[in-house]
Amino acid sequence: MDQTRAPLTRLSFMKMHGLGNDFVVIDAREGHDPVTPALARAVGDRHRGVGFDQLAVILPGQNTDFTLEFWNSDGSKAGACGNATRCVSDWMMGQLGRDAVSLTTERGTLHALRREDGLVSVNMGAPILEAAAIPVSADPMALPLAGDPVAVGMGNPHCIYFVADAEAVDVAGIGPGIEHDPLFPERTNVEFASLIAPDHLRMRVWERGAGITLACGSGTCATAVAAHLRGLTGRHVIVDVDGGRLEIDWREDGVWMTGPTALVFTAELTADFMAAL
Active site residues: 81, 216
Strands 54-59 and 21-27: parallel
Tell me which long-range contacts 4-13 makes (C-beta under 8 A, separation of at least 24). Answer: 7/271, 8/271, 8/274, 8/275, 9/271, 9/274, 10/268, 10/269, 10/270, 10/271, 10/274, 11/268, 11/269, 11/274, 12/266, 12/267, 12/268, 12/269, 13/43, 13/50, 13/266, 13/267, 13/268, 13/269
Taking the C-alpha atoms of residue 223 and residue 161, their distance in angstroms, rounded to an integer, is 9
Q: Provide the 3-class DSSP secondary structure of residue 10.
A: coil
- The separation between CA 247 and the C-alpha centre of its own chain, rounded to angstroms, equals 15
Mode of pairing for the β-strands spanning 150-153 and 54-59: unpaired
CA distances from 100 to 81, 118, 155 (A): 18, 12, 22
Integer angstrom CA distances of residue 172 from 95, 160, 191, 204, 217:
39, 15, 12, 11, 19
CB 256 within 8 A of CB 220: no
Query: How far, CA to CA in Å, does 179 sit from each of 84, 128, 189?
Result: 21, 18, 6
